[in-house]
A = this chain, B = another copy of it.
């Protein structure tokens, strides 16, 4: 039905992106302080948090991160170089490369994940609100007290 877009529609879309960027920026900074590049952190989380029925292959990780397989290869190269992840060949299918975190990788990921969970508990509600606003295609829920979620730069 393609209703036309109002100023409020653009605002709710932009606010959603702002909230997403705030979360991602938090994550990027946390990763870097932990000595990892942001994408490398994402690869580790994808390996550790894979659905139980999936094997931790290069291609599977690429799909979870929505990147091309060769981008995943490069990320894994750096992670393996840093001692965070190790490769082994698949047993059934020798084309496959199966990935696992090293103890060093497990430790860093655990700390980052705790930190992220805490951030989500505090920043999550604003994200859900922005998402709902953008989904209904109008900024109706910001007529409530949440208008002052307007945020300044974090230190």
Binding site for B on A (CB under 8 A): 2, 5, 9-18, 20-22, 24-25, 42, 45-46, 48-51, 63-66, 109-110, 113-114, 116-117, 120-121, 124-125, 127-128, 131-132, 134-137, 150, 152-153, 155
Of chain B, the residue at the smallest CB distance from A2 is B114
**Which listed residue (B14, B63, B116, B155) contacts A50, Cβ 8 A?**
B14
> Chain A interface secondary structure, helix, strand, loop or mixed?
helix
Given contacts A49-B15, A66-B21, contact A135 B113 (CB under 8 A): no
**Min distance, Cβ A74 to any Cβ of chain B, angstroms:** 17
Known contacts A22-B66, A66-B22; A135/B114 CB under 8 A: no
Contact A48 B117 (CB under 8 A): no
